[in-house]
Chain A
Amino acid sequence: MVKKINLAGSHFSMLVVLGALYCAPAQSHTKTNDIQVNQLPDACENYYQTLSDKPYAILPCFAPTLGNNRTNQSAIRDAYRQFHALNWPLSDSTIGMADYQLDYSQQLDTYPVWQSWPTVAQMKSGDITKWQQTSYKLPLSCQSLFTKNNQGTSQYTQFISNYPTVPRGPKIEVLSNSINPEGETIADVNGQPVYYQVYLNQPAFAYLTSQQRPINSLNFPAGQVNADKRGAIYIKAAWKVLTDNELNQYHSSFAVVIDGDSKNAKQCRLAVVGLSAQHIVSKNNPKNQPNSSDANKWSWATYLNAASMPRYSEANNGDYQLSQQDILPPNDGWAFFNKSLNELKKQCINNQDQWDEVLDTCPINKNNCEIGSKCTGNTLVAYPITQDKANLDTYNAQTKKHLPSSVWRNYQILNNQWLDRGFAAPEILENPVLEPFFHNKSSCSSCHSDANKQVFKDYIFSPGVDMRQLHDLSNLHKGIK
């Protein structure tokens, strides 16, 4: 018996389907529909004129490319605009469609557009094959949570009734992957692991589903400046299990969380999870010249919940330091830091009187969680922002100004890395939740170049294709970096 969950419907009511395969009917994609689903400028009246002179305005549409005048400032601006557009509340009729009538700035939280997109896991497993599909398999260990009793309620319906402010949409998060790109896992101060999920937009989904198998290499569609055409977008989200006190700080969602590895029985539980960090990876840079040494046409924008961890400050001599002021916690404490400064000073200051994470005794930004076992939580500290600080501060302040009461005001753009004639700007960019142990030395684009080593996967490690459906063309693609 296959159990599938369907949360679709005009009011996203939940329906558990037993037995037969259920697929929501696919909608035909007219041009208008494509423009709206992709939140292209034409879906918003006088988009460019409305934004002219209003760089900080927030709309449900965003530009398909970095434009003709690509600068770090405009890349950060586009990171700001795409973040808010993609967090716009979902309309109740179409997967990926923003509710253009709703005022995003007045929402306390949203079920964002991107959360309705298919996930890479669902693509790989073949659970979702149509864009509009809202039914998908749940792991066996989770199915009892949705089984209704004689009164017509289930553990799930009882659970969600306790959290009326948590947004609901057509899909529930199914979270089982807690391994980050370094092959490690991190946990918050409550010892709860962080879970990762990757979502893909309609152009990426349509491209993948249209490819004949086996696939020789991938070349996702890029946005086009004048054609009002959206390119592929992947979003990677890091979710943490929330305590009740944290609900007001995070964008939250209902999830089934599956713990345990292949050796241990998998356990499934219901949870309210919060978005800790996010990458928005968009193929929106077609002007990165094809003859350059690196023809990577993606940009990597990355975002962080401000309550995640403290940030080092810079001493006058340029050294990193951590002061009492730096570690002052937000209202409900840091998610990934609960050490005292005195304790850390003993552990992390070297004999030259400098902060030194490399010291064996220093727990900062080190892995101390064994995969699959209980963990007491990591001690994470973010690095000072040294590039584009004034622009980043301005855009992050504008988020707070435009969203007086929304949870989305608690997120910061860390930067948006893009390639300019083959060179990454900024050169170094990492998200302390998504790439916690690289010690400020990693770069999204250089790391993702590794994705192309066996098969040219267009810089995406896990595009949503089962590896058995890809040809190994390592010899053919030797020239492509």
Chain B
Amino acid sequence: MSNQTNTEKLFAYRDQFCAIKLVIAMVLDNKLQAATSSIYPSISGSSESAIKQRSKLKNLYYIPHSSIEVNESTVLLSLIEDNFGPLEKLSSVVLSDAFAADLVAQTASSDAENELTLTLGNAGMRCAFTKDNGVEFTPQNKVYDFDGQAGFILSSDEQKNLSLLVYQIASTLEQRDAVQQLISQGQASPLAELFGQIELANGQRVTPATAEQLAQFLTSDNIDKVTTFIGINMYKPSW
């Protein structure tokens, strides 16, 4: 694989990582979520006002709140150093303008829930649960039909905790590697146990039920199901 391809993949990875960070920012600050969601009804269409609101959402909210200090993510740091070698002065990364514009466009869509479920689910799957930094990850393009499956949409508190768990795993090299090893070995129970042990940014842990459900999905080779599960439960507490 050429260096250029690697660099492109790195920046694509950065966008998905930053999208998860944006989710976390809104999960941890309900006033930020309230502010962004109050803009959504005014961003559809081609009126001057809608264009202005979309620009506001992208430039004043989505991009700034997607910022990740590179040093706060051992995964990101190692990726950057693999590509560019050790850097003297590292700061932060944010969503690219194009990816942020995509998020805004999806938010404005009448099919926003499905589109964002896929975007966030793919981001979570790639950054947290796919080996080799998700190089071989194939994004899902269809939402899994979970109609009638109780518990697929978690309670609002568990949605938040699941989002925090995904970010925590995606940004911590050691945890991510341990998780991915258990996934590759198909070990659902130890995986659930590991999820349950991880202390989240809000001081909580996911419940055993959530940990077991996620572990079961991740080890069952039903990629569209787990992508939708992660995506919808990240979308709901944040958007």
Chain A residues near B (Cβ < 8 Å) = 46, 48-49, 51-56, 63, 67-74, 77, 225, 287, 289, 291-293, 386-388, 390-391, 394, 420-423, 425-427
> Beta-carbon contacts of B152-179 to A below 8 Å, as 1s and 0s?
1101110000000000000000000000
Residues of B within 8 A of A291 (CB): 147
- B156 to A72, Cβ gap below 8 A? yes
Query: Given A55-B35, A68-B109, A421-B147, 14 other A-B contacts at CB below 8 A?
Result: A49-B53, A52-B38, A52-B53, A68-B107, A68-B110, A69-B239, A71-B235, A71-B239, A73-B34, A73-B237, A77-B38, A421-B146, A422-B148, A427-B155
Q: List 10 A-B contacts (CB under 8 A).
A: A67-B41, A72-B236, A73-B33, A77-B37, A289-B147, A293-B148, A387-B156, A388-B156, A420-B153, A420-B236
* Candidates B41, B147, B152, B235; contact of A63 at CB < 8 Å: B41
Assess whether B89 is interfacial by the CB under 8 Å rule. Answer: no
Q: Given A52-B53, A420-B153, A426-B155, do A69 and B40 touch, yes or no (CB 8 Å)?
A: yes
* Candidates A69, A289, A391, A423; contact of B30 at CB < 8 Å: A391
> Beta-carbon contacts of B102-146 to A below 8 Å, as 1s and 0s?
000001111111001000000000000000000000000000001
- B147 to A48, Cβ gap below 8 A? no
Task: Please report the C-alpha to C-alpha distance between residue A425 and residue B157 in the assembled complex, in whole angstroms.
Answer: 11
Task: Please report the C-alpha to C-alpha distance between residue A355 and residue B107 in the assembled complex, in whole angstroms.
Answer: 46
- B56 to A53, Cβ gap below 8 A? yes
Q: Given A52-B53, A55-B37, A423-B150, do A73 and B155 touch, yes or no (CB 8 Å)?
A: no
Task: Please report the C-alpha to C-alpha distance between residue A421 and residue B110 in the assembled complex, in whole angstroms.
Answer: 16
* Chain B facing A: main interface SS: helix
* Candidates A46, A71, A293; contact of B236 at CB < 8 Å: A71
CB-CB nearest 6 A-B residue pairs: A48-B42, A55-B38, A55-B34, A68-B112, A293-B148, A52-B42
Number of contact residues on B: which range applies?
A: 35 or more
In the complex, which residue of chain A has the Cβ closest to the Cβ of B152? A423
- B156 to A426, Cβ gap below 8 A? yes
- B153 to A421, Cβ gap below 8 A? yes
- A425 to B156, Cβ gap below 8 A? yes
In the complex, which residue of chain B has the Cβ closest to the Cβ of A420? B153
Residues of B within 8 A of A71 (CB): 33, 37, 235-239
Q: How far is the CB of B233 from chain A (nearest CB, A)?
A: 11
In the complex, which residue of chain B has the Cβ closest to the Cβ of A51? B38
Residues of B within 8 A of A386 (CB): 157
Q: How far is the CB of B64 from chain A (nearest CB, A)?
A: 14
- B113 to A68, Cβ gap below 8 A? yes
In the complex, which residue of chain B has the Cβ closest to the Cβ of A63? B41
- Which chain B residues in 215-239 approach chain A with CB under 8 Å? 235-239
* Candidates B44, B113, B153, B157; contact of A423 at CB < 8 Å: B153
- A70 to B147, Cβ gap below 8 A? no
Residues of A within 8 A of B33 (CB): 71, 73
Residues of B within 8 A of A67 (CB): 40-41
Task: Please report the C-alpha to C-alpha distance between residue A12 and residue B147 in the assembled complex, in whole angstroms.
Answer: 52
Q: How far is the CB of B139 from chain A (nearest CB, A)?
A: 21
Residues of B within 8 A of A289 (CB): 147
Task: Please report the C-alpha to C-alpha distance between residue A272 and residue B2 in the assembled complex, in whole angstroms.
Answer: 81
- B157 to A387, Cβ gap below 8 A? yes
